[in-house]
Structure 1
Amino acid sequence: MQQPIAILDSGVGGLTVAREVMRQLPREKIIYFGDTERTPYGPRPAEEVVRFTREIVDYLVQFGPKMIVIACNTATAVALEDIRSRLNIPVIGVINPGARAAIGRSTTGQIGVIGTEGTIRSGAYEQALRQLNPHVRVISEACPLFVPLVEQGNFRSNETREAVYQSIGHMRSYSLDTLILGCTHYPFLVDLISEVMGPQVMLISSADETAREISAILHNEGKLSRGDELPVHQFFCSGQPTMFKSIAQQWLGEQIELTPVVWQVPKIG
């Protein structure tokens, strides 16, 4: 039986990673979990995000994955090492791939990072960037309005355009040449973000870079799927399935098999 790649996120954001894996590695089977019942993770305490991530991983291991991908920047920032210590399979996050891409593509060393409150508060991107280049200038901005809009499927409305301008419009004054989309939800808003920042700012999607890292690790470990049959992916979500399924099918461009999962835990608020 084919071992899947398990991908988890606080909601639909990790679908940006899943789509890239499907494009770059079409023979790989994906098991995806979106914790839509408890999104967003950004405002939550770190220990709560760690607990949620453990619960999802514990659920996903029943499928015998060959790799776990924490496709959530907030969870990567606070839970990656904890999950790695609990498993004997590769566990990767989305922060280091995005940082490496930004360092490789920036010509001025003026790099912006936008993300959730939890990701920005952790300083994980600044640390990753400065490990690669101690002289880099990093401007970080939390954008708490973005994830709820994406989870509602609200990608291009006037409300969303206003939220993007309000959240990052001031960043145009920093002479950035590169902006890391430090949340896997943000590629859903890439057109508006690009509109606000202008063509001189290169946008870095951690989703694209993470898919490349997945490919490299599986290749090095001799674990790439080699069968001719195209896999049937499985999707799970913890909240209302209708919106998740609609967004997933729109983003992935195909029908999906979706299974709702009920968590017996309180939501934020």
Structure 2
Amino acid sequence: MRKSFTDQMGRTITINYPPKKIVSLVPSQSELLFDLGLTNEIIGITKFCIHPIEKFAGCTKVGGTKKLKLNLIRELQPDLIIGNKEENTQSEIEALMQDFPVWMSDITNLEDALHTIHQIGELVDRSPEAAYLNHLINTGFTDLQTLALSKNINKRAAYLIWKDPYMFAGQHTFIDDILRKIGLTNVVKQSRYPSMDLEELKAENCELILLSSEPYPFKEKHIEEIEAAFPHSKVMLVDGEMFSWYGSRLVKAVEYLFYLQDKLVIS
């Protein structure tokens, strides 16, 4: 059976439905596909698609998200490739589009993520499972927003993703939207992921600085460095997956963010 779908970049693809040979090029979307029950259909993932870890070892690795092994993907002969506008390299995606149906997501907020889960559920014939995940995620984040109001969580925050140079999650990013959902105001006014030195950040009256575990692996030793520059700010390590993975990991993120809100109230 042949069926057509429109991706989030407005492109229409036609696939053998339901797809039996799927290559996923994004970690959070790979985890989603596994959680939708597609273990047998997934034939290729990236080296960063580490969840669920028990599925990782037995799956063909097709390179990194931004440096794919195009010839290996061609050898696999997938009937569907699923990628993301931000996480994958445009030229590589365009090359794959010449030979295979490639469905692309484009996600900047939680609502986009929920829509993506819904659309991927339709794409792979797992709509009921996707709807259940969306129910859990939507309910959880509604509660998180309610708690942010009731506990009066209203802190000015910065979210660090890289070091040397320091890079931050700015406006119009998924991370920025998650910060807002739990009651935090992102002090970084630039879009996307700007570089800033710490002196620039001092002018923003930042109450909370979050050091992400990915893509740069911030550790405890980095807290002292930031605290020295910001003696009046709270500096915390956070799990980057819980702020930036926009698939089924959002179910786990709800519980993680509840605990984080508790810490913010205490502090």
Q: TM-score normalised to the size of structure 1?
A: 0.35
Q: Which structure is higher in RCO with an 8 Å CA cutoff and minimum separation 6?
A: 1
Q: TM-score normalised to the size of structure 2?
A: 0.35
Q: Which protein is richer in strand relative to its size? A: 2
**Which structure has the larger Rg over C-alpha atoms?**
2
